[in-house]
């Protein structure tokens, strides 16, 4: 009996030694990478449960109201670290002058005819921006129903598009209507309010559009209030600046300039994967 007990204890001690040796044996490089990957996944799951934004890439669509116009945007983001996302963006919009005001013609005996027009407008100024940037997470959601705050910044190239603005007038010499654009400081038809009938239409002059290259930069804060990490619902506020290689005339009686600076507010939505 005593011999059997000693034999059992010896077996237990031997098994424990073998197990301890296996535990203390250094892991192979392959096993170590597997363990690190498993730990990384567990950390991501834990962070997501705590309200952190975890994803591989995200797509964002948005509409901006600027202090000098409007723009629509698309942004694509690729996850870099828990706090950083690399992005590229494309944006199309229109810049306006603060002097723009739509009026209606009363050419025919006091009765309004035709479309309203902007008196003294020389060009429609559109801009197509594209570039790269980053999104830096400043504060996580705390929980999935919270708000994540991120800093957004980026820069790139801008294609300024100047399209001549046409109006329809009644020619005083022939009494016929025709479309005209601004011809310079000596133009006696374009600026004569008594001859103006209506705007000539948005597509008029599109074949005469002139491209002016420039650069763009923006910075802002994004407040993501989406309930689930897979969906993005956000409000963004910020500032933007554009510089062009030549003056961009919009209104006849307003100074021409190369640099445009504005503040904006944007409504954005998108998805994450």
What confidence tens digit (pLDDT) does each residue in 161-220 have?
A: 999 999 988 888 888 888 999 988 778 788 888 888 888 888 999 999 999 999 999 999
Residues 36 and 21 in one domain: yes
- Rounded to whole angstroms, the Cα distance separating 102 from 135 reads 39
Domain region containing 88:
55-105+114-166+201-272
Residues 130 and 41 in one domain: no
Helix (H, G, I), strand (E, B), or coil: what is residue 51? coil
Q: 155: closest CA among 173, 133, 134?
A: 133
Residues 36 and 142 in one domain: no
Instruction: Please write the tens of the pLDDT for every residue from 143-161.
Output: 556 788 999 999 999 999 9
**Cα–Cα distance list, 31 to 35, 36, 170, 262 (Å):** 6, 9, 85, 54
Measured from the Cβ of residue 149, the count of other Cβ atoms closer than 10 Å reads 16
- Rounded to whole angstroms, the Cα distance separating 181 from 192 reads 12
**Residue 245 in domain:** yes
> ∠ at Cα 180 (175, 185), nearest 5°?
110
* Portion of the chain with pLDDT greater than 90, in percent: 49
For the chain, the straight-line distance linking the first and the last C-alpha, in angstroms and rounded, comes to 66
**Residue 121 in domain:** yes
Comparison of pLDDT for 203 and 53, the residue scoring more: 203
The number of domains in the chain is 2
Residues 44 and 132 in one domain: no
Whether the predicted pLDDT of 258 surpasses 70: yes
Strand partners, 89: 75, 131
Comparison of pLDDT for 244 and 57, the residue scoring more: 244
Q: 199: closest CA among 100, 104, 264?
A: 104
Whether the predicted pLDDT of 72 surpasses 80: yes
Q: What's the mean pLDDT in 79-99?
A: 93
- Rounded to whole angstroms, the Cα distance separating 240 from 94 reads 13
Measured from the Cβ of residue 27, the count of other Cβ atoms closer than 10 Å reads 10
> Which CATH number characterizes residue 219's domain?
2.40.160.20
Contact 150, 135 (CB under 8 A): yes
Residues 206 and 126 in one domain: yes
Residues 139 and 77 in one domain: yes
Determine the pLDDT at residue 62.
Answer: 97
Contact 68, 260 (CB under 8 A): yes
Residues 134 and 150 in one domain: yes
């Amino acid at each position: 009996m005593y011999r059997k007990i000693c034999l059992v204890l010896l077996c237990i001690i031997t098994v424990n030694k073998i197990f301890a040796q296996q535990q203390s044996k250094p892991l192979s490089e392959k096993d170590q990478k597997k363990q690190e990957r498993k730990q990384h996944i567990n950390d991501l799951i834990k962070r997501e449960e705590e309200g952190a934004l975890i994803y591989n890439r995200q797509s964002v669509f948005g509409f901006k109201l600027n202090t000098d116009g409007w723009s629509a945007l698309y942004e694509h983001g690729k996850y870099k670290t828990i706090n950083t996302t690399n992005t590229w963006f494309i944006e199309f919009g229109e810049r306006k002058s603060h002097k723009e005001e739509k009026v209606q013609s009363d050419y025919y005996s006091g009765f309004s005819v035709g479309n309203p027009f902007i008196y003294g407008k020389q060009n429609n100024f559109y801009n197509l921006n594209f570039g790269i940037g980053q999104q830096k997470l400043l504060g996580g959601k705390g929980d999935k129903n919270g708000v994540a705050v991120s800093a957004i910044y980026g820069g790139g190239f801008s294609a300024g598009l100047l399209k001549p603005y046409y109006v329809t007038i009644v020619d005083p010499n022939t009494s016929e209507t025709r479309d005209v654009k601004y011809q310079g400081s000596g133009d006696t038809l374009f600026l004569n309010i008594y001859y103006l009938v209506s705007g000539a239409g948005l597509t008029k002059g599109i074949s005469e559009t002139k491209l002016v290259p420039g650069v763009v930069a923006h910075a802002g804060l994004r407040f993501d209030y989406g309930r689930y990490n897979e969906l993005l619902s956000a409000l963004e506020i910020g500032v933007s600046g554009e510089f062009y290689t030549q003056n961009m005339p919009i209104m006849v009686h307003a100074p021409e300039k190369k640099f445009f600076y504005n503040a904006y507010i944007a409504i954005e939505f998108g998805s994450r994967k």
